[in-house]
Chains A and B, each alone.
Chain A
Amino acid sequence: MVKPVKRTAAFFLITVMIISIGSVAAGSNPYLTGYVEGFFKGAAGQSKVQIEDYDGIVHTLDVNTNTAYLIDQREVKLSVFKPGLEVYGRLTGRTLSSLEGYSTSNMGYIQPGSRIRTGTVKKIDRDQIIVSLPTGDQETYFSSSATIVTKKGVNASLNALYEGDGVRLYFDEANSFMISRMEIQGDSILIKDLYKGRLGVVDQYDNAVTITGVEIFKNAKWQPLQSSLRISCSDEAAIYIAGRKVPLGNLKQYAGKTFYMAVKNFFGKSRVEKMVLANQYESVYIDKISEINWFTGAFELAGRKNIAFNESSIIVRNGRLVDQYALNPLSDAFVATDGRGREQAAGVVYILNEDLNNSNIGQNNLYAGRLDQIIPDKLLMKEFYLMNKNQWESFNDQKELFYDNDTDIYDVDEGKKVSAKEFYTMDYAVEESSGYAKSRGLKDWYGYIFSDGDRISSIMVQKNLDSMLRQRVSTGQIEAIENDPLVGWKLKLMNSCDWSSLKEKWMERSVSTPINIDKAMLIRDGRMVSRDTLKPGDRLYIVRDDYNAKVVVVK
């Protein structure tokens, strides 16, 4: 009886061992698990592949025409697989139904700067920039101190950006909204002229219209330009009739009607960017927009006049064509309306407001005052003035500003540039009560300063203080510029406005203004520039004493 028990026990033990061994083997048996993972070894003929699993066992598996081959979720052919590629295969029955390889080490990577967005700046709020895209969408992007900004191919600061500017934004990551590089469209974004005239011939093959009785908007009024003008329209020209956008081909039946046109320069030729039909009678207002009702799409001028506006209105701000949402209450504007009686719709809204800074990104300030103390890298001003809301505001205080080797320093009395070392070693700031100063009759000099925060970008120094009360701020566009042998550099300013402190509004001038810039500090792109760099069409922000400019900032 003992023997059978022994045999049974031995049989049981062997069975258990076999089962357990079988279990271990099943872990790496693809036919049992339904999958195989490891490394691709190669194709064995047309219908088999070899895969070495992580245990080092090489499996030769069947494939057929329905087997799906993928590398990183992308469909490929079997021939793309290279020996050594890490793979995962799924089996259906005894055949591989799919084989996926894993090759990408940096998932979701794009070439830095390869994601690009092009659009128009709709809103700037510090580091947030809302951009209208060609698709009609709007997206918010973010700038940082690391954002590289260029304008016309030259490095610029973010302060150069205006609402209405065309921008090309580059991103380093696939789903990032942080701008790594920003290109700002150059002067081609500017509205060169505003025209008014009667529609003549429409050439839809050449994208051109002929206008008769052409008038140009200049110095706050329409002025005759020429009797007939053939002008191209851009491919994307927005043409509006009764608030509705229409294609150029539909204009034919409006021949003889008056149109307003916003025109840009396109490689030396004028081109219509926006065109609006003036269907009834024109009225013109120059006033402050006191209130905007966004629900009814109308604004009220300070003179209690209500004017409707919509996407068809030509709205120009800072020389750029902007959309209706860029209108701000308290803006001073030239408005040409179309309508009759109380029903008036804005055909053209030309915003007169201009500021030292282009947006709230800017930290530029204008100072004027006595140079009390100059030490290496630092200037202390006493009894200084700060340009605040387009007028000098005086402070009986001290102001600390910093300069460096890149600061442009100009001695206007001597007519020469001064180095940073000369600036503090020479007698631009002295201790007036000292024997040294008294014996030499030295006194502190005065300066006009253009700063970026508390860093002096440019400073113009002179021996005597000007009368600051006489100075006023004007804006305008250069109509002509010349170097007169008798009076020096002078320019003619058109579409100019003066800031009225009393009325707290921009007052449009009805004639072109002559301005002498021979003894002025000229600033362009944050740097002091020479007079010969100014050119017709440049938009200026000027601090002037009568006809003599003191500070000219090219916008």
Chain B
Amino acid sequence: MKRVLIAFMVFLILSQSALVYAIPTEFSGGVNNEFEYSEYVFLTGEPVKFTGTCKITETVSKDKKTVSYRIILSPEDKKLEGKLDRNMSYITTYTKYSEKGQTTSQTTVGTVKETIAVGANRYELKNYQFYKSNVIDNRPVADYYNGNIKGKKQYSINTDEGTATIDISGGDVGYENFWGNTDTQLIDYVITVNKKGSGANASNESWQGTVKVQVSDSGTKQLRYSRNEAGYSSFDGGYMKIINREMVSTYRYDLPEIKGGKPDANKRKQGSVELSQSMLPKLERLVVPKFRDIGGHWAEDYISKLYSLEVFADTKEFFQPDVAMTRSEFIKGVMQACNIRPNIDQKKTVSTSKKKTAETPVFKDLKTTDPNYAYIKDAVEKGIISGMTPELFKPNDPLKRGQAITILIRALGFENKAPTPGFATSFADDSHIPGWAKDCVYVARELGLVQGDSSNRFNSEAVLTRAEASALLVRFLEFLQKDLQKDYRENILLYN
């Protein structure tokens, strides 16, 4: 009974967590929020907007995920009679390649049932073949993925008046990290309708049309300051985390001109229709910083944000923004800011449950009792850091600019985006950038994470103060929140 209860609870948790991840609803270009789902249907040769409800159920087992959609819609135009009833499920199986840090997935269709009625026509889905395959690159702070889609839907029209076929091809691209996730699908439909009227009105009403569907589901977490309205309070205000989710979609169609229900062989109708829906934002208030020495400092906002996120756990009165940031503190900051914590906590739990055995530290100059040890160890395991030498980490050494950038780019998993060796960065002091940092410095500049000083120097050996490191970390978080979203959504949808 206990097991059943636990299994049920796990199922519930997994089902709910599905709402958090941004993945467009089904593969029809539809968008939804908590109240309404809408999509366009083109089977009649006209774009017809349907609205209604969509219930999504997600079950996850070890290497398998099943997503079921129950969609019941009616035309938005109340003058038009119709109904869309869809009961569809998609099964995805995952194969992990741990040594390569990658996962592949295969998605096929499970349950298939769909009927669409528009005016006098009734389309019943007779056959649906669907294949989707993705590769997911699991990097320390984010997973990036890219996939391909191929499918075919075949409907009967009014039982025996003909067939309608939708050829589906396209792909999707996305990412997922603690600060946001986006999935953008670019799908082409080729619709072929072979319809013969029945009885005395029998006539050939065959046509072909195309629809380009671009749909994106994106969620972000943003930090926003909220002022305390009361004057006699122990704090002036603080940051909150706002979790937004938005779905947008565009259908660009090229269909025959339909006159009196019949397609015109010589005239085409081209156009586009758009949809968008937003979820109600979720709010999360964060702790309030009370440092005495950051008021009016140029980095006050950055430090406050990071403290609110518990990236800096200092409980002392003085943050000391102009003191050098240590290597160990920065690693912890990066790991905390990107929420790479559960892994560590989990490990801690496991180790306490077993009999204690003396652990060999990953570096000779580190003790396993060091409060930052778990973060450093995890960062080593994830390939974010490798130490000053194979044996020494030098945790209390001041953090240098080149080191900080290398850590951030490795955390993103972007170090391979640099050109093949033998290139020069565009910084004036390129020759002073050490070989181990060059790839990351080049990539960071490309991403807009760093810029040169007034003389276009990178200053790889410059020591970062706690304030400067805070500013860099906040910019890094903005990259995870906004820059990735823009690249995976706006830069794809608004330019294609």
Give A residues with C-beta under 8 Å from B. 65-66, 70, 72-75, 104, 106-110, 114-115, 118, 133-135, 137, 150, 152-153, 166, 168, 174-175, 183-186, 188-189, 204-207, 235, 247, 249, 265-269, 532-533, 535
| Contact status B276-A73, CB under 8 Å | no
| Contact status A73-B438, CB under 8 Å | yes
A338 vs chain B, min Cβ distance (A): 27
Cβ of B97: which chain A residues have Cβ within 8 Å of it?
none
Residue from B419, B422, B435, B438 having most chain A Cβ neighbours under 10 A: B419
| Contact status B420-A73, CB under 8 Å | no
Give B residues with C-beta under 8 Å from A. 212, 224-227, 242, 244, 248-250, 267, 269-271, 273-276, 278, 281, 283, 386, 389-391, 417, 419-424, 426, 435-436, 438-439, 442, 446, 448, 451, 482-483, 486, 491, 493-496
Q: How many A-B residue pairs have CB under 8 A?
A: 108
A153: nearest chain-B partner, CB-CB: B496
Cβ of B446: which chain A residues have Cβ within 8 Å of it?
115
| Contact status B276-A268, CB under 8 Å | yes
A107: nearest chain-B partner, CB-CB: B422
How far does the alpha carbon of A184 sit from the alpha carbon of B226 in the complex, in Å?
38
Partner of B278, one of A104, A183, A206: A206
B155 vs chain A, min Cβ distance (A): 27
Partner of A74, one of B227, B249, B426, B439: B439
Given contacts A75-B436, A206-B281, whether A535 and B419 have CB atoms under 8 Å apart is no
Cβ of A265: which chain B residues have Cβ within 8 Å of it?
274
| Contact status A183-B269, CB under 8 Å | no
Cβ of A137: which chain B residues have Cβ within 8 Å of it?
451
A380 vs chain B, min Cβ distance (A): 34
Cβ of B439: which chain A residues have Cβ within 8 Å of it?
74
Interface residues of chain B: helix, strand, loop or mixed (majority): mixed
How far does the alpha carbon of A153 sit from the alpha carbon of B496 in the complex, in Å?
4
| Contact status A108-B422, CB under 8 Å | yes
How far does the alpha carbon of A204 sit from the alpha carbon of B237 in the complex, in Å?
15
How far does the alpha carbon of A135 sit from the alpha carbon of B447 in the complex, in Å?
9
| Contact status A65-B391, CB under 8 Å | yes
Partner of A266, one of B244, B276, B390: B276
| Contact status B451-A72, CB under 8 Å | no
B180 vs chain A, min Cβ distance (A): 12
Partner of B242, one of A73, A135, A205: A205
| Contact status B422-A104, CB under 8 Å | yes
Cβ of A174: which chain B residues have Cβ within 8 Å of it?
419, 423, 442
8 smallest CB-CB distances across A and B, nearest first, come from A107-B422, A72-B421, A268-B274, A108-B423, A73-B435, A267-B248, A267-B276, A183-B495
Given contacts A65-B390, A115-B446, A188-B494, whether A535 and B271 have CB atoms under 8 Å apart is yes
Cβ of A267: which chain B residues have Cβ within 8 Å of it?
248-250, 274-276, 493
A71: nearest chain-B partner, CB-CB: B421
Given contacts A104-B422, A107-B421, A205-B242, whether A249 and B390 have CB atoms under 8 Å apart is no
Cβ of A66: which chain B residues have Cβ within 8 Å of it?
389-391
How far does the alpha carbon of A424 sit from the alpha carbon of B435 in the complex, in Å?
68
How far does the alpha carbon of A70 sit from the alpha carbon of B435 in the complex, in Å?
9
Partner of A75, one of B250, B386, B417, B483: B386
Cβ of A205: which chain B residues have Cβ within 8 Å of it?
224, 242, 281, 283
A182: nearest chain-B partner, CB-CB: B495
A154 vs chain B, min Cβ distance (A): 10
B282: nearest chain-A partner, CB-CB: A205
How far does the alpha carbon of A247 sit from the alpha carbon of B226 in the complex, in Å?
11
Q: List 10 A-B contacts (CB under 8 A).
A: A65-B390, A104-B422, A108-B419, A114-B417, A135-B448, A183-B496, A267-B249, A267-B274, A268-B276, A532-B269
Cβ of B274: which chain A residues have Cβ within 8 Å of it?
265, 267-268
Cβ of A266: which chain B residues have Cβ within 8 Å of it?
248, 276
